[in-house]
Structure 1
């Protein structure tokens, strides 16, 4: 599926699904008037603003483009992994484009091009609802072309976890989980499938059937990252586990289940909360759950990302004030979705999600797991 973006330009002998418009050979023309319909199976949503320009040169895909301001371009595709390539640029103007895919997963962040420069970026997307979505923002966004192809053999990195990992909705921006930002650090031959959900513990994630959903689609040589602990501490029976008994026993079900299916499990200790002692050191709020996971990693001979230790170091370097830029500490009126502001010491805004995802990425590189290491930027 190939799409050429630009203004309506009637031309003899070329007819696209939306009318008589010009398009590069083998491509379907998409204009600002190309609204998504089920019949066509592609198009822009009606929430954003889309404009278009034709620079007249150079010929082909670089000649014209759309300017998607807060717009989403949707394409109906089968569930599974799809590789997406985008062409971005402008012959006479500098550009800046950010792209998020389904559920707000960040794949391209503030991509700059100079006047006359064009960039082709590729990434893989895990689709579960029958539709690929590309959400565009940026100071001066451009989209010249999009190509989509099924990639069933691509490596998939599955995430099981809680609200610090999960995909937060667009209307919650800047609220973001680190799993939502992880695609930024993954090459085009791998996709991130984020099944983490707010409020879940290692126990409730299983009892609610979410782990079974992962088991139904994970394949040999995929990876499963497992971060639980925040909600295993909660007192309710549905979520509570005890560190050295039921917590370790429950996590072992994830490890064994992944291995039975030929996938590779990786344990991730819980990212730290933003609680500081008077001397500026970070207060540990997870206690024995961290010790238990570290023990289990050795006992089960499974890879471990000690995100608790890495995030402790990062947060202490930034200090009580600096960490506010990572967590959901928002001033009243700073973000439209939080008019009254927020003071949250557990959850991240997008900048924090990116920085914690970077820690996870660095630890994955340190583990030197193959072929995963080849799929990391």
Structure 2
């Protein structure tokens, strides 16, 4: 089923479209509407179907009930009389548009993909002057799905921890609509506990021929508790191999990724390695099994040393007391990223995709 919405002031909608005004708050019976829409307003510029009027979704989300799966979304943004600036995140706060600007009189149609789990497609709007004119949501089960398995450095953020962010949240920003990112990474998980909780089984049920599975663990495999600990010399590689086998059994492509570095410098400004033999184990497994490898540990090491001890604080979750609402007492976290940092790390992952020439993913990068 295709969903189509025409946003703006009250009146007739475009053909085969449902009209949405600022008064349309999300309702389970109608299955769509604005959330946190107290500041949503609307304006009409002309009688042009779909684009002659619009909603101004300032700091609001538009939610649509849809079956789980992959969708291609077509979104019209712009204003006949004024320049606009719109940012957009989708399910899991995945970045799609960052300060997308239009000039006076320009209507831009943006096309992107969304992987939906939980029965709701969510569009969260931001930017200095956001607009939404029209929206089309089309089921697309044939899309390439890029599955992510990993920990908190990869995952989509949960509520109440902004600005903490994982690089998987930012990955959709770099892809055209041909690839849907399905981020299954969860904070605190190791290669072992992710499997023990049945999370790899969920990926196994969904992954299909032509898809990709990116695998980054190690941070929590070091933890001493029995549900998570793996030994880099004995058990770590066999657990990682289970992910490789799930992808290969579906004729999908596995990609191993070494753990992104923590921010720990020595007195000379050189980064201290905190993952040790876990990094070597991933590299060895990639060589032994002929699996593509993105050495994110090495890439992030170079980035951190280039920036230095002070500038890297802008990547990680550092903040003075009162700087971040969710960390009012201040925070000094050398493992997790804020959004600027996760965007930079996602850029390194994309760099690795290009270097490996992972087809057809490379074709679909922006």
- With normalisation by structure 2, the TM-score equals 0.97
Measured against aligned partners, the alpha-carbon deviations of 1:265-302 in whole angstroms (never above 9, x if no partner) come to 00000000011111111111001111110011010000
Match of 1:249 in 2: 238
Residue of structure 1 equivalent to 2:188: 199
- Residue 15 of structure 2: aligned partner: 25
Q: Deviations over 1:137-168 (max 9, x none)?
A: 11111111111000000000000000000111
Which residue of the partner structure matches residue 4 of structure 1?
Answer: 6
CA distance in 2 between partners of 1:374 and 1:153 (Å): 17
In 1, the alpha carbon distance for the partners of 2:51 and 2:204 equals 43
Question: Structure 1 unaligned runs (5+)?
Answer: 9-20
Q: 2:39 aligns with which of 33, 42, 49?
A: 49
**1:148 aligns with one of 131, 137, 142:** 137
Alignment of 1:98-113 (within 5 A): 98-113=87-102
Q: What is the 5 A alignment of 1:72-221?
A: 72-221=61-210
Q: Cα 1:40–1:316, aligned 2, differ >3 Å: closer, same or farther?
A: same
Greater Cα shift, 163-172 or 181-190 = 163-172
Q: State the shift of 1:60 in Å.
A: 2.2
Q: Considering only aligned residues, what root-mean-square deviation do their CA atoms show, in Å?
A: 1.1
Unmatched 5+ residue regions in structure 2? none
Whole-angstrom distance in 2 between the partners of 1:295 and 1:256: 16
Aligned to 1:268: 257
Q: Distance in 2 between matches of 1:270 and 1:75?
A: 36
User: The residue matched to 2:264 in structure 1 has which SS?
Assistant: coil
Of 314, 332, 335 in structure 2, the residue corresponding to residue 325 of structure 1 is 314
Indicate the SS of the match to 1:143: coil
Aligned to 1:298: 287
More displaced stretch, 47-56 vs 217-226: 47-56
Residue in structure 2 matched with residue 231 of structure 1 by the alignment: 220
For residue 26 of structure 2, give the secondary structure of its aligned residue in structure 1.
coil
- Structure 2 counterpart SS, 1:110: strand
Task: Give the match for residue 29 of structure 2.
Answer: 39
Q: Deviations over 1:222-248 (max 9, x none)?
A: 100000000011111111111122001
Contact 1:48 1:72 in 2 (8 A): no
User: What is the distance in 1 between the residues matched to 2:328 and 2:102?
Assistant: 34
- Structure-2 separation of matches of 1:67 and 1:252: 49
Q: Could you tell me how far apart the structure 2 residues matched to 1:98 and 1:303 are?
A: 33
Distance in 2 (alpha carbons) for counterparts of 1:365 and 1:4: 38
Deviation at 1:170, TM superposition (A): 4.0
Pick aligned residue for 2:358 from 354, 357, 369: 369
CA contact (8 A) 2:37 2:57 kept: no
**Displacement of 1:24 after TM fit?**
1.6
Aligned to 1:16: none
TM-score under structure 1 normalisation?
Answer: 0.94
> Separation in 2 of the partners of 1:110 and 1:309?
31
Equivalent-residue separation in structure 1 for 2:361 and 2:38 (angstroms): 37
State whether residues 331 and 340 of structure 1, in contact with CA within 8 Å, keep that contact through their aligned partners in structure 2: yes
Aligned length: 364
CA separation in 2, counterparts of 1:337 and 1:97? Answer: 24
CA distance 1:327–1:321, change in 2 (3 Å): same
Tell me the SS of whatever aligns to 2:298: helix
How many Å apart are 1:76 and its aligned residue? 1.1
